[in-house]
Amino acid sequence: MAQYLWQTSLTSSAWKDQVSGNIAALFDTGDANAGHFGGKVLHAWVAFGEYDFIAVVEMPDNESMAAYVLAMTAKGHYSAGKTTILLSGAETDRALNRAASLG
């Protein structure tokens, strides 16, 4: 399965939920929804900086990850963000070998 770094900002309504003591929902909901698309949130953090929420997500493919991010954003708790495809050492090695084959 592919892994992705998802960096996103929380909306004011999401922060309101967190301040009200519902922080578990931020983490639990994300993982439950990832399961709907065949994936799993491997790690998640609240961060302070350009993005408020950072997660490493495992999904079967790019389309599943795109659907997950779109669905999570549509729920109104997340806004602007960035998704980065993560390559394992083995995947990087294979990509390097394929690149070298071009000569």
Residues in contact with 61: Cβ distance below 8 Å, sequence separation at least 6, in sequence order = 2
Per-residue model confidence as pLDDT tens digits over 18-39: 788 766 666 667 778 899 999 9
DSSP 28-41: HHHHHHHHHTT-EE
CATH number, domain with residue 28: 3.30.70.920
Per-residue model confidence as pLDDT tens digits over 51-64: 989 999 999 999 99
Per-residue model confidence as pLDDT tens digits over 58-92: 999 999 999 999 998 898 888 889 999 999 999 99
Q: d(Cα 51, Cα 80) in Å, to the nearest integer?
A: 8
Q: What is the pLDDT of residue 32?
A: 85
The tokens for 81 are 């963000």
In Å, how far are 9, 13, 19, 24, 58 from 16, measured between CA atoms? Answer: 14, 5, 5, 13, 28
Task: State which residues form the domain around 18.
Answer: 2-100
- When divided into structural domains, the chain yields a total of 1
